[in-house]
Amino acid sequence: MLKEGDEAPDIHLRTDTGEEFRLSALKGKRVVLYFYPKADTPGCTVEACEFRDDLRAFAGKGTAVVGVSPDKPEAQAKFKRKYDLPFPLLADEEKAAAQAYGVWKEKNLYGKKSMGIERTTFVIAPDGRIEKIYNKVKAKGHAAEVLAGL
């Protein structure tokens, strides 16, 4: 289990445009890396749109925002277009990043157990270390909470 102060695992995934993305390419910049369960679902839409609406404030603090879910790049692209999301959405189809960050977990919904993303956000410092972890995130108000913590 990752904890604050740990080196952030590098991730290498495809973006919503199909391009290659490496987290290590953003070293030297603070990064908000947020994991969400599924593109274009109610909670994930609220969370993404709040990050979109606050993006100028994040940029003003030298912070990039990157979203990650197990969706395919095509689903990420559709979600991004539909809500005009101005930051990269990463396709973690193999759940490698989710597993590296410890957010691929057994979930229990109405007595039914299944594996899925536990909504979690990591703030990664410019030196590549995890500065802050937000576990079991509630989508509404989360972007403002992260912004206030920077």
**Half-sphere exposure in the Cβ direction for 50 (13 Å, CA):** 17
CA 116-120-53 angle, to 5 degrees, is 115
SS3 59: helix
Domain 12-116 has CATH 3.60.15.10: no
* Active-site annotation holds for 44: yes
Strands (E), the chain: 12-15, 20-22, 30-35, 63-69, 89-91, 104-109, 112-117, 120-124, 130-134
Domain ranges across the chain: 12-116
Q: How confident is the model at residue 87 (pLDDT cuts 50, 70, 90)?
A: very high
Q: How confident is the model at residue 107 (pLDDT cuts 50, 70, 90)?
A: confident
pTM of structure: 0.95
Q: How confident is the model at residue 33 (pLDDT cuts 50, 70, 90)?
A: very high
Active-site option among 23, 44, 89, 146: 44
Specify the pLDDT at position 108. 81
